[in-house]
A and B are shown apart, each in its own frame.
Chain A
């Protein structure tokens, strides 16, 4: 193939510089978008923050008709449903990551990875549809069984009371299914960075596989695993549609995990259609709150992951 004659004239220099600037601009788009999100959303939400003050975060009274916008129940619902999701998903996800990296022979690893990734391909609205029309009706009777069983036991009694199929717990289960592939694929990456030398040293000392995992893999991967879990938490907090369909949409703060509740994203999605004026500002205010919460969680998570990765590279 004939190449063009060497061209060191001004034109190609200009092209070179232009290309560089275009690339920089493209990189800056990320900063611009994030900045715009923060500024425009806060401006739009300002009327609600101004009218409500701190009670926007501390009051439980959400009465759009009377102009009262206390978002505590939604913040509570987001935190509780995400916490349930983490409790269910974290052990299973780390178990899957260990199974795929340490137990399954390296040659047949791929299919197992694909199966878990398949779960991440299913859109969240499909989980919501499945949750509302199949899972919630099925699990309602199970909730009643559990509630009857723990009736009279001090703490459990208040946590697992009589409830409905659409509840904090149902939302937590659906969220757990959705964040498992995310946490487990990150955990797999972290576990894969364990230096083979340390693993072989553990085996050399006569450790069994499980002892090797506890002695060599866990201490090494701890930081990265915490980061992976927090990224999963960020995803769970922001998930909208699946939660909106299965959490039950009732603004209440209760210890009963089997009761209906609501979360920040789901109330925005459910009430947006009928909102106007300050009501809309209040919903955008909830979005700003959610934005700040997820940003904090994600920043902390990526800082932790980066630090542990750097440490493991440096070691």
Chain B
């Protein structure tokens, strides 16, 4: 007891106090990081559950025969496959791609290379955003009114509807990619006396191509899974229809939809099989898109 404590510690008490408070603040920050992590975990649960059921139940019915034979005439029957639906999906999304990609890429060229920030370009850009928000069922009804009423059910009608849904997506992603092409490339080409259109076709587009391809593949993957527009435009054929421009056809999402609301186990099984097929198609396209954009990425 020789040394009586100096008053200094009492003065120092503040900093010590503060560190105590600071530690609670740090705990709180850590807690919030955990909460944010839990948000991520929460979204993984449905993802895993859905994929798990699709793979397990889909594999029960999956076979070469399932992928190639015609659709069963009745829900009750055990046999039958989704062959016509796969072909129908390929026809409809293929035609949609043929319609939407050239138009979308040209539209984006107009927006970024010609219109820039002019009044018309701003209107078109804004309307493209609006169009990407049009519900797919509205687009389907629109095509029904414009096309199907006159020309009847066909894969081509479905292709128009899916193409309308893809168009704004293609415009948007292509414009984004054109924006990444350095202006020096354009100036270099123009300085050599090239016309503007040649500059775009031979210099700008090749530079942006991987990104454009990747954006289009993602749009195709989305379009392949759209169901609502098909209800009005493609019909529900049971047999293969190789001619896309006339006659009722069918597609995978259409088959999943009608089988999902069926009460028969056999139909439900076919629904899961079709779902597995559709998801594999969508994932393959998405994977391709990722590979293309990763392999030839433009430096941002």
Contacts and interface: CB of A to CB of B under 8 A. Distances in A.
Nearest to A173: B46
B261 interface: yes
Interface stretch (B59-67, B78-86, B151-159, B277-285): B277-285
Contacts of B168: 30
Interface string A252-284: 000000000000010011001000000000011
Nearest to B36: A99
Interface in B110-137: 110-111, 113-115, 120-121, 123-124, 126-137
B138 interface: yes
A22 B167 CA distance: 16
B54 A130 contact: yes
Given A12-B195, A41-B138, A284-B141, A99 B50 contact: no
Contacts of B131: 30, 33-34
Nearest to A270: B261
A310 to B, nearest CB: 12
Among A132, A210, A245, A294, max chain B CB count under 10 A is at A210
A26 B107 contact: yes
Contact of A287 (B42, B129, B137, B260): B137
A119 B50 CA distance: 10
Given A103-B36, A129-B272, A294-B134, A28 B124 contact: yes
Nearest to A133: B268
Interface string A22-35: 11111111110110
A177 B225 CA distance: 16
A22 B201 CA distance: 13
Interface residues of A, number: 90
A37 B28 contact: no
A116 interface: yes
A142 to B, nearest CB: 15
Contacts of A34: 127, 130-131, 134
A211 B25 contact: yes
Interface residues of B: mostly helix, strand, loop or mixed?
A: helix
A210 B28 contact: yes
Contacts of B35: 95
Interface stretch (B179-187, B206-214, B227-235): B227-235
Given A13-B195, A234-B133, A31 B109 contact: no
Given A210-B32, A235-B133, 4 more contacts: A27-B115, A98-B36, A118-B47, A125-B225
26 contacts: A8-B193, A23-B113, A24-B110, A27-B110, A30-B171, A34-B130, A95-B38, A96-B43, A99-B36, A122-B50, A123-B279, A126-B225, A126-B275, A126-B278, A130-B49, A180-B43, A208-B29, A234-B133, A235-B133, A238-B136, A241-B257, A284-B141, A290-B137, A294-B135, A298-B133, A299-B130
